Amino acid sequence: MAYSSINSGPSRGDEGSPSASADELSPLLNRLLQEDDAIPTPSLYKAQSTQKSMFALSKSIFLESLPVVLSYVLQVSIQTTAVLVVGRLGPEELSAAAFALMLAFVTGWCVALGGTTALDTLGSQAFTGGTPTDLSVHFQRGLVLLWLLFIPIAILWAHIRPVLMALGQTAELSENVQKYLTVLIIGGPAYIGFESLKKYLQCQGIMTYSTITLAFVFPVNIGLNIALVHFTPLKLVGSALALSLSYWLIFISLGLMTYFSHTHTSNGAWSWISIRRVLDPRGCMSFLKLALPGIVMVGTEWAAFEIVAIAAGNLGPLPLAAQSVIMTTDQILNTIPFGLGVAASARVGNLLGAQDPQGAKRAAHAAALVSVIAGTVIMIVLLATKDVFGVLFSSDPAVIHLVSRVMPLVASFQVADGLANSCGGVLRGQGRQHLGAVFNIVAYYVLALPMGISLAFLTDLKLQGLWIGQVVALFLVAMGEYAVVWKGTNWEKEVQKAVERNQEEAKHGSIGPSPAVAP
């Protein structure tokens, strides 16, 4: 399961030192260069990728994924905090906030997280393809296009009450959800901006900045939620306003950190804004051809797990309570393979841009190896703790027992989940998001969901039946993406595609490196 897209670096106190600058210039050059203002080049990428053993390469990718894991945990916790604080108002407010944020995920936030996968391809390949300033053009273009895509979603949010009522929701819940989402529109552009800027930095191997920013804003978000929900007349909508303000604070803070970063300003990635290049029709089409399948790739998986949650609610209060525990657990565990997927996409894209097909192939192998090992460890831990795991979330013996019955199913797909995330990252680095979207649609909506719902409501399996369907889906996605990456990839051809992408962007007008100018 992938909800949502960071690199172990030196301490922030060392940022201005030569060692720190070299460490964060690229995940492929960690501790390899000790020169001040060293800029990654194709030859350095090739040298580093061929010199490392598979074990060292796998270890490097794992370490690079750790900040992604922490960043994602913090990002999810910001919204979890909002739900917990609102829950103190009463069950109606709790239901409205949880439902509204679920809708925000599968409609709005998937545009940010899915749409920015285009930067996994275009940005990472441009940074090492001889035109690093094109990375900033892709970032600016993506920001504009994704903001435009958010407009119809914002309109839907502001008028979603009749839609929800037509789907059978109560008038009170529909009204509260609409109020919540209407205020949350304020934070939508900031959420998209943060995800875009985060990807822009990840393409350069600067992965710790977003983690630091989120760690700074997290306690502020708690204070904002408590103050606006419990000490103002806003109540429920105060939660949405607190989230919106937090998203803007995250976006602005990350922008300021980037602006004052010696690492960023020294690597030649930024260029002044060029409206002509940013809004070039061919460039916009190239971005959308990758962004739209990326949105489908992310949105279809998210929606599938939300459908399972809704179906569990129709099974009764006990399965719903157990489902909440299991979903929370799965969301936390997913941060590990998710981080590996981000590290894989950045590294593979960088190496393809550097015209190193063998290095990209080795990186893909290493990412898959690490994901399988991590998935195996998680599976063993879950199986060993299945009988006591529910105690961490509930004191109800019936809930604890049901969780222990379903947890082996969750454990069984950890290896597949890891493989799907790492191979999905490789596909994003290659620019083949459309294949991930196809695999998700077929696996979840053609096979797994009909199977799981049938098992849940037509047999005695109930909640277990729903999760059997998810197990099948994740194995199908993992096997399909694995087959494409290893059997259906011509790495030399992927390098040629990267060269053609960079050449096509260069035709729109060469800007050249700008003198240490940051956004």
CA distance 200 to 122: 10
Is pLDDT larger for residue 5 or for residue 416?
416
pLDDT of residue 27: 42
Is pLDDT larger for residue 391 or for residue 120?
120
Where are the alpha helices (H) located in 104-203, listed in sequence order? 110-115, 117-128, 134-158, 161-166, 171-184, 188-202
pLDDT of residue 509: 58
pLDDT of residue 455 exceeding 50: yes
The structure tokens listed for 485 are 């990456």
For residue 391, the tally of other CB atoms under 10 A from its CB is 14
**pLDDT tens per residue across span 30-70:** 433 333 334 444 445 555 555 567 888 888 889 889 998 89
**Where do the structural domains in the chain lie, given as residue ranges?**
12-16+24-507
Place of tokens 């990412």: 367
Per-residue pLDDT band for 147 (boundaries 50, 70, 90) equals very high
Nearest to 136 by CA among 289, 277, 10, 269: 269
Query: Which of 88-97, 118-127, 267-276, 368-377 is predicted with the least confidence, judged by mean pLDDT?
Result: 267-276
**pLDDT tens per residue across span 260-298:** 988 888 888 888 778 888 999 999 999 999 999 999 999
Residue type, 389: F
Nearest to 344 by CA among 419, 429, 431: 429
pLDDT of residue 377 exceeding 90: yes
What letter would DSSP give residue 383?
H
pLDDT of residue 394: 80
Place of tokens 């290493």: 366
pLDDT of residue 242 exceeding 50: yes
Is pLDDT larger for residue 513 or for residue 338?
338
CA distance 452 to 516: 55
Place of tokens 């199986």: 383
Q: How far is CA 350 from CA 120, 295, 482, in A?
A: 9, 22, 20
- Please tell me the pTM assigned to this model: 0.86
pLDDT of residue 20 exceeding 80: no
